[in-house]
Amino acid sequence: MLYAVFCYNNENVTSEWSKEQDDKVMRDLAAVQSKYAEAGKLGPVARLMPTTTATTLRHTHSETIVTDGPFAETKEQLLGFYVVDCASMDEALEFARDLSSANPAAGSYEIRPLAIYKPSELAS
């Protein structure tokens, strides 16, 4: 079984880390990651940029609305995610728009640039 693990933390606190503190956390996490990567168990790893870089596309039955900022509702649940290589936020929004029109259910797509991306190490 493949599992996705989502990391939650208080961004206001983590953004206060000095570069040295941040580097150390990243090194310590990389050590854990490589243990699983070497065993062929680790899929793609991503670190998101801060929520201040986010844009959200909300798809209702009648219209699609794009707003600045992260997804803020609490009544919907996270169901899945994509990593897509786009030249700009506009292109990424186009992708989200395509997804939303293919999906009969109303829902939201938060689009956030990645700060770090490591491809999958999963054994095929």
Of 27-35, 37-45, 62-70, 74-82, the segment contacting another protein by CB under 8 A is 62-70
Nearest distance from C-beta of residue 105 to another protein, angstroms: 25
Q: Which of 3, 8, 10, 20 binds another protein (CB under 8 A)?
A: 10
- Between 43 and 70, whose beta carbon lies closer to another protein? 70
Q: Which of 39, 65, 106, 115 binds another protein (CB under 8 A)?
A: 115
Interface with another protein, residue 50, by CB under 8 A: yes
Interface with another protein, residue 76, by CB under 8 A: no
Interface with another protein, residue 62, by CB under 8 A: no
Interface with another protein, residue 64, by CB under 8 A: no
- Smallest Cα–Cα separation from 2: which of 30, 43, 47, 37? 43
